[in-house]
């Protein structure tokens, strides 16, 4: 039997609307008690006591979508390194996009991931729960609909290509066909014909940087079309990678009309904008591209207001060789599982811009609900799916301190404040 008491620790539980200092007693992966003070006489003799002064104990974090290198790109990331990075970042659940090689567009891919997860679970023990997004189209190429019914039976968490579907007729048929399957469907609104070769948000700053700009309408035009499809068909949809101020307005209006939609923004679009690209760091090459300051401010307010339901990590590993090229030529994406919580906490919670529960809700409770899962809660009798976080510890981001195989992040070499001490799966 393992018994652990977190003594006088700050507890964050969005489900219970709880932000309080309390004692939390965990035995064999189950929460036994949470109270203002638990007498030592109530504890078993072998209980380990953790002094909670200055620490945060929150529900386990949930990532809506990220990329695995394995299978096909193991030099970028293996499943083992990916799960180690997730645990180091406080994530207890991780939903993986299907754009591996081969892609997860058939039950075989789902079974492979399940078997590999089971194997790692036997070897490593404390690892996050992995979920597979099933591909909407064969090979995630956006040309032919995958066998969604077979994928649903195989146990995918939902459907998402992770790439924008350019064929409107195909998208409409997918929304019709998917409806009776009753699984989450996540879509990225992006018109590649309008984006062209844009690598930052179109505007004055893009001109000053000498980089091709991607206009906001490349996102908002397909978003408006998608919202019309949802209004017509009634199929619930999750909107991925929201990155423009106008998109926030459209989603706000659609929610006010009662459309069955949820939305997410990636963590880096909340922290950075096109002004940060002046360093030409290839790790700032993202897709969708970093927006203008007005976009970033609208996204921050959208999370605050609940218009943007969740913050996704969209962890995208690339090797040193892949990213060590000119900014416009770099493959888009950056890692983030180990960096998101400390950077978001220091930027928004430590400064008072957001309440702590606003951040935790966006990283834990709401992502679980977007996946139609029961979110974790800190209450007696429930599994101890927990994240122990110290917002004061300082550490340097380096290939040696990161668990991910890749280190494509603009924070490489910098000192961060805040670190996850322990992630418990219950």
**Catalytic site positions:** 314
Within a 10 A sphere around the Cβ of 74, how many other Cβ atoms? Answer: 14
- Distances 301 to 65, 257, 275, 276, 308 between C-alpha atoms, Å: 22, 20, 19, 20, 9
Give the 3-state DSSP-derived string for 202-213, with helices as H, strands as E and coil as C: CCHHHHHHCCCE
Q: What angle do CA 85, 376, 260 make, to 5 degrees?
A: 100
d(CA 68, CA 71): 8
For residue 337, which of 315, 318, 365, 316 has the smallest C-alpha distance?
315
Distance, CA of 147 to chain centre: 26
DSSP letter (8 states) at residue 302: H
For residue 419, which of 36, 87, 80, 35 has the smallest C-alpha distance?
87
- The residue assigned the tokens 């218009």 is 307
Q: Are 33 and 5 in contact (CB under 8 A)?
A: no
For residue 71, say if its preceding peptide bond is cis, omega within 30 degrees of 0. Answer: yes
d(CA 351, CA 355): 10
């Amino acid at each position: 039997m393992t018994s652990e008491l977190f003594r006088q620790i700050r507890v964050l539980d969005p489900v219970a609307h709880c932000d309080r200092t309390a004692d939390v007693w965990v035995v064999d992966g189950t929460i036994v008690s949470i109270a203002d003070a638990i007498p030592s006489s109530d504890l078993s003799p072998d209980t380990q006591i953790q002094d909670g002064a200055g620490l945060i104990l929150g529900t386990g974090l949930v990532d809506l979508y990220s990329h695995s290198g394995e299978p096909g790109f193991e030099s970028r990331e293996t499943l083992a390194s990916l799960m180690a990075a997730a645990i180091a970042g406080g994530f207890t659940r991780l939903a993986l996009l299907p754009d591996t090689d081969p892609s997860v567009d058939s039950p075989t891919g789902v079974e492979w991931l399940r078997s590999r997860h089971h194997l790692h679970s036997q070897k490593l023990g404390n690892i996050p729960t992995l979920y597979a997004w099933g591909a909407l189209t064969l090979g995630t190429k956006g040309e032919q609909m995958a066998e969604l019914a077979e994928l649903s039976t195989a146990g995918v968490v939902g459907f998402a290509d992770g790439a924008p579907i350019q064929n409107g007729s195909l998208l409409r048929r997918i929304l019709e066909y998917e409806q009776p399957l009753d699984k989450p469907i996540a879509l990225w609104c992006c018109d590649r014909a309008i984006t062209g070769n844009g690598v930052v948000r179109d505007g004055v700053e893009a001109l000053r940087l000498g980089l091709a700009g991607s206009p906001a309408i490349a996102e908002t035009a397909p978003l408006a079309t998608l919202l019309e499809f949802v209004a017509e068909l009634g199929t619930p949809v999750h909107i991925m990678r929201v990155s423009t101020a106008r998109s926030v307005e459209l989603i706000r209006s659609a929610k006010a009309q009662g459309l069955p939609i949820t939305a997410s923004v990636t963590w880096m679009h909340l922290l950075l904008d096109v002004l940060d690209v002046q360093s030409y760091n290839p790790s700032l090459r993202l897709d969708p591209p970093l927006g203008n300051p007005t976009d970033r401010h609208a996204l921050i307010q959208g999370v605050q207001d609940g218009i943007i339901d969740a913050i996704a990590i969209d962890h995208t590993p690339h090797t040193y060789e892949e990213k060590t090229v000119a900014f416009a030529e770099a493959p888009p994406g950056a890692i983030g599982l180990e960096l998101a919580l400390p950077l978001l906490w220091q930027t928004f919670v430590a400064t008072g811009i957001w309440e702590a529960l606003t951040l935790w809700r966006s990283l834990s409770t709401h992502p679980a609900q977007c996946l139609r899962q029961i979110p974790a809660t800190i209450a007696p009798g429930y599994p101890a799916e927990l994240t122990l976080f110290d917002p004061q510890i300082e550490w340097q981001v380096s290939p040696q301190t990161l668990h991910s195989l890749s280190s494509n992040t603009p924070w490489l070499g910098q000192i961060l404040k805040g670190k996850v001490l322990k992630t418990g799966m219950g």
